[in-house]
Structure 1
Amino acid sequence: MTDLPLSGIRVADFTRVLTGPFATMLLGDLGADVIKIEPPGGDDTRGWGPPFQVGEGGRESSYFLSVNRNKRSVILDLKTGEGLEAARRIVAGSDLLVENFRPGTLERLGLSWDELHVRHPRLIYATITGFGLSGPYRDRAGYDVVAQGMGGMMSYNGDIGGPPLRVGVAVADVFSGALITQAILAALYRREQTGMGTRVDVNLLESVIALGSSQVGRYLATGEVPVPVGNDHRSIVPYGTVRCGDGYVNIAVGNDTLWQRFCGALNLTALGTDPRFVTNEGRVNHRAELDMLMLGALAAFTRQEMMDRLDEAGVPCGPVNDLAEVFADPHVQARGVAVTVPHPTLGETTVTAPPWRFGGEPLPVRRAPPTPGQHTAEVLAALRHTGAADADLKSLDCAQPEPEQPGQGVQGTGRE
């Protein structure tokens, strides 16, 4: 696909670790030219491992590789005049600035929203924090596990009667990254109407609360504090994970018609006519009795047998896969979810593909996750070519570059 939705949009990416890089990766997937500005040691996640992927030219953190496709990397020391001036000139030629430093960090470097908006009124300035730009927790560092706990999610996640449990992926980070991407796209649309940029911000705590969705809504409506119920659903039965003879299957019996189909498919006719279980309300109220009655009957089926029967009956279901099973799944393979791309130090690496399709076509992985400073010389040469610090840098080369040696360009620390 050559005509990508965000072609011609440039992003000055001051983010690191997960939530910001996830957001800028999505923007890069959509066609934006993302210039990832890193300190000399690189993004923290370059050292997060094992596991590392090893090639003839070095090794790369699998964590870093997972959220940094479709970007260019520039090494700058924002605490030196030379590095800061280069950063300002990159910003001057960008449509978006995205950052996830602690509040006040970029202000101290002269890269605040107030200053930049005066000089570059079309610039969209996106900020991701732990707790927002105001309030008592404004200056606290934000991390996913902290946000999951403070936002209530860990209190209703986990097994019945068990301790608080963090969701197994960094949902506060990833959801915040998705939300800031939505806000950025809305700001780009607004700029088309008004000609002016704006500031958008998202924080991890409120993202977790928003992600709580029905659990939060239930509490606000009733005052009832949710508690963990494992893989079950509080308001629908059966809905969740059931155990069969050789594994686990997820089922979603979302109404009474599906309940009758479920019972017919799995030879549970007596349960389908039992007055306690005919309606969903009854099944919710008699959840424990129903679970005990189904336990032995479901164990008689293999996982594949159960799914075949439920599929034929039109009951939503699916296996509980490990990741090896996920990527061996013929549907996942047919959809091209994993993509192998050339890499300057690894030879090649496999990453997940962008999750959208436009006009039925998948979006390409145009660039492998970059090595540290891979594009520093390229970007700085273009900056020197443009002349004045506030020049329009849209002439900055966006073509796929030749691989360069890591670490070229301005050096330093550049981190709080």
Structure 2
Amino acid sequence: MSHTPTAHTIPTAPKPLKPLRGVRVLSLALNLPGPAALMRLKAMGATCLKAEPPGPKGAPPGTSGDPMGQYNATAYATLHGGIKVITLDLKTDWGQQKLHQELARTDVLLTSFRPSALVKLGLGWKALHKTYPALSVVAIVGAPGARAEEPGHDLTYLADAGLVTGLDLPATLFADMGGALMASEATLQAVLAQKTSGKGSFQEVALSDAAGWLALPRSWGLTQPQGAVGGAHAGYRVYPCKDGRVAVAALEPHFAAALCAAAGVPVTGMATLFQSATHNAIANFLAGQTRRQLDKLAQVKDIPLHTLAH
């Protein structure tokens, strides 16, 4: 008697939620934080429109008025994928007229101008709220409150938060990307508030606050040199190996025990992981292993590590 084999059902990934479906977002925000926030809002289902100023005088036709489009075309293309972009000169009557046509059907306006610039353009919160009571504004600024007029950028906000520790630039734009997350979160808050009150709200998102939020683990001592994830714990460090480097994150006791067992280090308690002898023993062990050997060790012994090239 023959049997027809039963096909195995391959689980499919759940469809992403679209909580902002039907919500219209208009962005005037340039550079990185605003477009990064808009990219996330589009992923959550929002209908997104970006309005940019004209390109620089004398630039070839079609040159973006967003600086990001001028110095990194790849980043710009990724950030604006699937998003309609229009050119508006808000210093002209036509630009203002077109802007207000869009505002009349917009739920959330995203900006990244200094407050004084918004007022000059007739886009201060009081004026907007009077004309469009249901419109919410998420204003991305450098620093909060009275400091919103101060010039700054990702690097200065990270430096102020204690996240620039040497002469090397940070590995990525933490304040900008953290600010983008906070701006998308603020948009969600605005939409929820709109649904219950029927009125728009104003929310200010400061990049310096984003840097400060990211810096909290450092302020608690966690990532300071004496902290468990700052280098003091032998199981949470970057070590050289035979043909590259290895980022080891064996922080929890069972992971640390597996690492120490592989390195032949006796463990008598958590304090063992903070001793210089343990650091040296693990460093010597890892220095003699290739990346391939360590990748296999991680799989067989269930040790969280990731190998890297030199």
Q: TM-score range by the shorter chain?
A: 0.7 to 0.9
Residue 149 (structure 1) aligns with? 159
Instruction: Say which of 223, 247, 251 aligns to 1:254.
Output: 251
**What amino acid sits opposite 1:4 in the alignment?**
K
Indicate yes or no: 2:146 matched with 1:131.
no
* Unpaired runs of at least 5, structure 2: 1-14, 56-64
Residue 35 (structure 1) aligns with? 49
1:15-30 matches, within 5 Å, as 15-30=29-44
CA displacement at 1:93 relative to structure 2: 0.8
**What amino acid sits opposite 2:77 in the alignment?**
L
CA displacement at 1:280 relative to structure 2: 2.7
Structure 2 SS opposite 1:77 = coil
Contact kept in structure 2, 1:23 and 1:181, CA below 8 Å: yes
Instruction: Say which of 274, 277, 283 aligns to 2:273.
Output: 283
CA displacement at 1:3 relative to structure 2: 8.0
For residues 70-95 of structure 1, give each alpha carbon's deviation from its aligned partner in whole angstroms, at most 9, with x where no partner exists. Answer: 31111111001111111112111100
Residue 266 (structure 2) aligns with? 272
Instruction: Say which of 57, 65, 68 aligns to 1:45.
Output: 68
Equivalent pairs counted in the alignment come to: 287
Q: Which moved more, 1:163-172 or 1:20-29?
A: 163-172
The structure-2 alpha-carbon separation of the partners of 1:310 and 1:204, relative to structure 1 and needing over 3 Å to count, comes to same
For residues 349-376 of structure 1, give each alpha carbon's deviation from its aligned partner in whole angstroms, at most 9, with x where no partner exists. Answer: xxxxxxxxxxxxxxxxxxxxxxxxxxxx
For residues 300 and 102 of structure 2, the distance between their equivalents in structure 1, rounded to whole angstroms, comes to 57
Structure 2 SS opposite 1:218 = coil
Structure 2 SS opposite 1:185 = helix
CA displacement at 1:229 relative to structure 2: 8.0
CA displacement at 1:171 relative to structure 2: 0.7
Q: CA RMSD in A?
A: 2.4
For residues 255 and 70 of structure 2, the distance between their equivalents in structure 1, rounded to whole angstroms, comes to 49
CA displacement at 1:6 relative to structure 2: 1.8
Contact kept in structure 1, 2:225 and 2:231, CA below 8 Å: no
Contact kept in structure 2, 1:179 and 1:202, CA below 8 Å: yes
Residue 60 (structure 2) aligns with? none
Contact kept in structure 2, 1:129 and 1:204, CA below 8 Å: yes
**What amino acid sits opposite 2:278 in the alignment?**
L
TM-score by length of 1: 0.64
Structure 2 SS opposite 1:200 = strand
Q: Which moved more, 1:78-87 or 1:191-200?
A: 191-200
Indicate yes or no: 2:226 matched with 1:190.
no
Residue 183 (structure 2) aligns with? 180
For residues 242 and 16 of structure 2, the distance between their equivalents in structure 1, rounded to whole angstroms, comes to 49
TM-score by length of 2: 0.85
For residues 84 and 229 of structure 1, the distance between their equivalents in structure 2, rounded to whole angstroms, comes to 56
Indicate yes or no: 2:309 matched with 1:299.
no
For residues 203 and 226 of structure 2, the distance between their equivalents in structure 1, rounded to whole angstroms, comes to 36
The structure-2 alpha-carbon separation of the partners of 1:236 and 1:260, relative to structure 1 and needing over 3 Å to count, comes to same
Q: Which moved more, 1:195-204 or 1:237-246?
A: 237-246
For residues 246-281 of structure 1, give each alpha carbon's deviation from its aligned partner in whole angstroms, at most 9, with x where no partner exists. Answer: 1222221223332221123x2x22x224xxxx3333
Residue 82 (structure 2) aligns with? 70
Greater per-residue helix proportion: 2
Contact kept in structure 1, 2:161 and 2:212, CA below 8 Å: yes
Structure 2 SS opposite 1:301 = coil
Indicate yes or no: 2:218 matched with 1:215.
yes
CA displacement at 1:231 relative to structure 2: 11
1:76-87 matches, within 5 Å, as 76-87=88-99
Structure 1 SS opposite 2:137 = strand
For residues 175-206 of structure 1, give each alpha carbon's deviation from its aligned partner in whole angstroms, at most 9, with x where no partner exists. Answer: 00101111110221122122121111111112
For residues 156-185 of structure 1, give each alpha carbon's deviation from its aligned partner in whole angstroms, at most 9, with x where no partner exists. Answer: xxxxxxx34432111110000101111110
The structure-2 alpha-carbon separation of the partners of 1:133 and 1:321, relative to structure 1 and needing over 3 Å to count, comes to farther
The structure-2 alpha-carbon separation of the partners of 1:173 and 1:254, relative to structure 1 and needing over 3 Å to count, comes to same
For residues 355-410 of structure 1, give each alpha carbon's deviation from its aligned partner in whole angstroms, at most 9, with x where no partner exists. Answer: xxxxxxxxxxxxxxxxxxxxxxxxxxxxxxxxxxxxxxxxxxxxxxxxxxxxxxxx
For residues 309 and 136 of structure 2, the distance between their equivalents in structure 1, rounded to whole angstroms, comes to 41
For residues 46 and 229 of structure 2, the distance between their equivalents in structure 1, rounded to whole angstroms, comes to 41
